[in-house]
Amino acid sequence: MADKKNWGVLAEFDTPKDIYHACESIRDEGFKHWDAHTPFPVHGLESAMGLRPSKVPWIVAAGALFGATAGITLQWWSMVVEYPAIIAGKPFFSWPAFVPVTFELSVLFAAFGAVFGMLGVNKLPTFNHPLFTSERFKGHSDDKFYVSIESRDPLFDQRKTKKMLKQLGAVHVEDVVEEED
């Protein structure tokens, strides 16, 4: 039989304005392990949560740079070092001829960086999450707004956290448990 462990709390809010102000307050309290769940993007919510800019653009740029470097190096090595051939009187390293392949490889590796970087940064795929056990949370993709605070947060205190969320205007606050095998 599986034991149940407290994962954290889940608070439901009625409007985007309510969740925005709740996120500002939670951020100001100093919580680190929490998230907001909305059915559509809420403008400015990432700044209200205190989120840093994403690392994905840097991963994409690194992928593009790697692709361009790999493309130009592969063509240079094959045309200058390994199989030098004079073609139409051009020099061995005629860079304009190398531009299309270099560009295409930079786009290819940038796309790989975007997809796999996003998956890695977002810790996807997540096939099961403790929040999925909540019946009320099923409305997060329709018309409800939620904030979840994890019990692993250093500031988490079950009673005080629930009280704070109610004071911030939550219409419903519940405990979230996860099953341990």
Structure confidence by residue, pLDDT tens digits, 15-66 = 999 999 999 999 999 999 999 999 999 999 999 999 999 999 999 999 999 9
pLDDT tens digits for range 148-173? 999 999 999 999 999 999 999 999 99
Task: Write the DSSP symbol of residue 54.
Answer: P
DSSP codes joined into one string, 105-140: HHHHHHHHHHHHHHHHHTT------GGGG-SGGGGG
Q: pLDDT, tens digit, for every residue of 63-93?
A: 999 999 999 999 999 999 999 988 888 888 8
- Domains of the chain by residue range: 3-50+129-180, 56-121
Q: Which amino acid is at 93?
A: F
What residue spans of 35-88 are helical by DSSP H? 45-49, 56-76
Q: Looking at the predicted structure, is the pLDDT value of residue 179 above 80?
A: no
Residue 6 pLDDT: 93
Task: Report the top-level CATH class of 3-50+129-180.
Answer: alpha beta
